[in-house]
Amino acid sequence: MRPDRPDDTSPAPGWQAQPVDPDTAVDPWPPRRAPSPGRRQAEILAAVTAGGVLGACARYGATLLWPTVPGAFPWTTFWINVTGCAAMGVLMVLITERTTAHPLVRPFLGTGVLGGYTTFSTYAVDARALFGDHRAGTALLYLAATLVAALFAVWAGAGLTRLLALPRATRTEGEA
Amino acid sequence: MNWLMVVVGAAVGAPLRYLVDRAVQARHGGVFPWGTVVVNVAACTVLGFLTGAAAATTVPPALQHLVGPGLCATLSTYSTFSFETLRLAETGAKPSAAANVVVSVVAGLAAAFLGGMAGQALLR
């Protein structure tokens, strides 16, 4: 059941009903504890910051564990971005189609943890460094491989979650 | 010390991405995710500048960690970018999905090059 429409047992409208940019959407607050707009903004910013720090630490830790040799294919950043995108596909299906998530789940996990964990700037700057090292082939391969694998990962993550996690409406009917 | 710098940079980069993204998306009505493009290109410019500066002169490791894996890597995002591309493609806006990929990669790469050249030229 949706907190904003308690009588509505239809399936969640899913991400089709939402803005393309997932970071700008604000999920409804539970009616029992709806804070003031200013308080909401502060809570969202705090959740984004805390999640972003966690995601950044996971990324930085991974680059320390598996350092990339200059001139080599940046595998560590490649896998960071691919795994982060797969997790994003899973998360977005879960919170927009399968459950009614608390409004701080998306800012914390999506915008914060996954947004902070994945990186576009390291991707572009590492590719530029490969071009600078006269490794244009590796640079182009890295640019294309990350793009294809990341888009496949978010698509597959979303698709698998749709298959494996039962829609909320089915579950409600089963319990009734 | 390096970890602390990464944490401080990330604590600025993550909310900055959220605020800039929202401000940009609020200023135009279309479906194209300009907010994410703007934060990603900005982060590529700054990280490119830092890399160029580090090639030209000595940049303290603490500052490199604050701006690199801390601020820039957290300010930019691949997960939101690829999710938005999938969303555009799924909703039938395939030209916009393709445009998002081309604009983000070309502009990000150009920003990394220009930032790098500026960093090297200014701090030589």
Determine whether the interchain pair B109/A120 forms a contact, defined as Cβ–Cβ distance below 8 Å.
Answer: no
Instruction: Give B-chain residues touching A92 at CB under 8 angstroms.
Output: 83
Q: Give the closest residue to A53 by CA, choosing from B99, B124, B6.
A: B6
Task: Find how far residue A55's CA is from the centre of its chain.
Answer: 11
Query: Are A15 and B87 within 8 A, CB to CB?
Result: yes
Q: Is residue A64, in this structure, part of any structural domain at all? A: yes
Question: Tens-digit pLDDT profile for chain A (176 aa)?
Answer: 344 544 444 556 677 888 888 888 888 877 766 788 889 999 999 999 999 999 999 999 999 999 999 899 999 999 999 999 999 999 999 999 988 889 999 999 999 999 999 999 999 999 999 999 999 999 999 999 999 999 999 999 999 999 998 876 554 444 43
Alpha-carbon distances of A169 from A58, A111, B72, rounded to whole Å: 35, 27, 41
Q: Is residue A14, in this structure, part of any structural domain at all? A: no
Query: Total structural domains in chain A?
Result: 1
Interface predicted TM-score (ipTM): 0.96
Query: Total structural domains in chain B?
Result: 1
Tokens encoding A121 = 């700037």
Query: Are A89 and B83 within 8 A, CB to CB?
Result: yes
Q: Is residue A40, in this structure, part of any structural domain at all? A: yes
Query: Are B6 and B70 within 8 A, CB to CB?
Result: yes
C-alpha span between A76 and A28 (Å, rounded) = 37
Determine whether the interchain pair B22/A151 forms a contact, defined as Cβ–Cβ distance below 8 Å.
Answer: no
Determine whether the interchain pair A23/B116 forms a contact, defined as Cβ–Cβ distance below 8 Å.
Answer: no
**Residue-number span of the structural domain to which A42 is assigned:** 35-168
Among candidates A22, A51, A122 on the partner chain, residue whose Cβ is nearest the Cβ of B14:
A51
